[in-house]
Amino acid sequence: MKVQIEALTRVEGEGSLEVFLRDGKPESLRLSIYEPPRFIEGILKGKPYQVIPDITARICGICPVAYQMSGVQAIEDAFCVKIPEDIEEIRRLMYFGEWVQSHALHVFFLHLPDFFNVPSIIELSKIDKGLVLAGMEIKRAGSLIIQTLGGRTSHPVSVVPGGFSALPESLSELKETLEKALEKALWTVEKLKALNFPDFELKEVLFVSLIEEDYPILKGDIYLEGVRVSPKEFKSVFVEFEVPYSTAKHAMTKDGRVYLVGPIARFNNAFEKLSPLAIETAHKLSLEPMVKNPHKGILVRIVEIVHALERSIRIVKDYKKPQKSKVEVVPKSSTGYGVSEAPRGILWHSYSFDSEGRILSADIVPPTSQNQRAIELSLWELIKDRENLKEDWLRDHAEPVIRSFDPCISCATHFLKVSLKDAKKFTLA
């Protein structure tokens, strides 16, 4: 017998949850992703390296900047291009914009309604309009950063290998919007403090995030339990595998351990590197490492929103338009790796190129596929001792658990390996 939620709601993309019962007791479950694959990496083969940021952005409408940043850094790694610090700082700013808008979308539009027992933000606005409007203002501030630097929030157009196609003369008009959004974020913290959380802990899960000088976002080695792994070594530590019930592959460590990426992992691994106001916010919310309750992801996201806004204000204040918006990129036959912290966790890209820079193979591992095992493990903890499971109960209890991980199902279906046998001639004039 089977109980199921046919279509998960308030998540990005399409999936379902099935629980299999024997004598009325749960025997197994599967988080099934039926989003059709779009073969993005297959489409990339034979194309010139320049199309990577535009095409991979389309894997996800919510975190396109993450795809662009991991993508261009993989290209630059392959072609040995060094990016000046001032351009990297603008990349961080754009990326912070995406964290703010993506986290605000999840916190206020998708996740928060669960804590008020309402089906949507529209219903939530009838209970606490101020909170909803604050969330919208925060989201708008994040979007404005991306629009200013890249023309539009989803699939911005300025990110190119080597830097940006063009950069604004000044960013001073952003400052006031960001400061107001930061004020609003701090105000919502007082409200979020009052939320009640189900008593629930992730057991035996590794927390995996990047490590860099600052709180991780743009680049760095991968950190797990005191071990540092370079982007190049990613596939020697983690394995992906197909499962019959999902168009998204699963991932585990090579020694068979379940791991979690994303805000909670970053917070647990790099708490002390958060901005001063973000640390203060964490204290206010009684949050400290190790956070193990996935429902508290909403609190960690608001801490990261505060961090991202505070850091962005600093970058905007210090902004001087770089002399050159991009550095020269000369292709060569090589393989490169790029990894960054998408809002939902580490996003790893690898490409091989021929001597003219055409793509021979592409390999992308997005965060949601890496988190599927941890989500399933959490769901199992929730239901394993339940008898007489009903669909209504699953919707009320299991769906919020899935939602708390902020899965991005559209992303998860698009990672795959492609190898190219005969590259088609293709050059950009």
214-273 residues in contact with other proteins (CB under 8 A) are 242, 244, 247
Helix, strand or coil, per DSSP, at residue 46: coil
**Residues touching other proteins: how many (CB under 8 A)?**
73
The one among 175, 232, 235, 395 contacting other proteins by CB under 8 A? 395
- Could you say whether residue 429 binds other proteins (CB under 8 A)? yes
- Of residues 139-178, which lie at the interface with other proteins (CB under 8 A)? 139-140, 143, 150-155, 157-158, 160, 164-166
- Of residues 114-133, which lie at the interface with other proteins (CB under 8 A)? 119-122, 125, 129, 132-133
State the Cα angle at 33 between 27 and 38, rounded to 5°: 155
Name the residue nearer to other proteins (CB basis): 46 or 289.
Answer: 46
- Could you say whether residue 342 binds other proteins (CB under 8 A)? no
CB 295 within 8 A of CB 111: no
- Give the separation between CA 103 and CA 300, rounded to whole angstroms: 10
- Token readout for 199 is 């008593």
**Min dist. Cβ of residue 283 to other proteins (A):** 31
Name the residue nearer to other proteins (CB basis): 41 or 310.
Answer: 41
- Of residues 89-108, which lie at the interface with other proteins (CB under 8 A)? 105
Name the residue nearer to other proteins (CB basis): 215 or 405.
Answer: 405
**Min dist. Cβ of residue 198 to other proteins (A):** 17
Q: Which amino acid is at 375?
A: I
DSSP one-letter code for 81: P
The one among 61, 86, 179, 214 contacting other proteins by CB under 8 A? 61
Interior/surface letters 174-188, b for 16+ CB within 10 angstroms, e for the rest: beebbeebbebbbeb
**Min dist. Cβ of residue 168 to other proteins (A):** 10
**Min dist. Cβ of residue 365 to other proteins (A):** 14
- Could you say whether residue 407 binds other proteins (CB under 8 A)? no
Of how many residues is the chain composed?
429
**Min dist. Cβ of residue 151 to other proteins (A):** 4
Name the residue nearer to other proteins (CB basis): 202 or 401.
Answer: 401
- Give the separation between CA 155 and CA 57, rounded to whole angstroms: 6
- Could you say whether residue 335 binds other proteins (CB under 8 A)? no
The DSSP element (H or E) to which 202 belongs, if any, is: none
> How many CA atoms within 13 Å lie on the side-chain side of 23?
1
Name the residue nearer to other proteins (CB basis): 138 or 277.
Answer: 138
Query: How distant, in Å, are the alpha carbons of 41, 96, 115, 235, 362 from that of 365?
Result: 11, 21, 31, 10, 10
CB 325 within 8 A of CB 242: no
The one among 17, 55, 347, 379 contacting other proteins by CB under 8 A? 55
**Min dist. Cβ of residue 76 to other proteins (A):** 18
- Could you say whether residue 426 binds other proteins (CB under 8 A)? yes
**Min dist. Cβ of residue 134 to other proteins (A):** 11
- Token readout for 48 is 């010139």
CB atoms within 10 A of CB 361: 16
- Could you say whether residue 289 binds other proteins (CB under 8 A)? no
- Token readout for 258 is 């379940």
Helix, strand or coil, per DSSP, at residue 10: coil
Nearest one of 3, 18, 9 to 246, comparing CA atoms = 18
Name the residue nearer to other proteins (CB basis): 20 or 426.
Answer: 426
- Could you say whether residue 58 binds other proteins (CB under 8 A)? yes
**Min dist. Cβ of residue 61 to other proteins (A):** 2
Name the residue nearer to other proteins (CB basis): 109 or 238.
Answer: 109
CB 353 within 8 A of CB 363: no
Name the residue nearer to other proteins (CB basis): 216 or 400.
Answer: 400
- Could you say whether residue 419 binds other proteins (CB under 8 A)? yes
Helix, strand or coil, per DSSP, at residue 228: strand
- Of residues 8-37, which lie at the interface with other proteins (CB under 8 A)? 8-14, 34-37
CB 16 within 8 A of CB 390: no
- Token readout for 29 is 């479950």
- Give the separation between CA 262 and CA 204, rounded to whole angstroms: 16
Name the residue nearer to other proteins (CB basis): 247 or 370.
Answer: 247
Cis peptide before 136 (omega within 30 of 0): no
- Could you say whether residue 60 binds other proteins (CB under 8 A)? yes
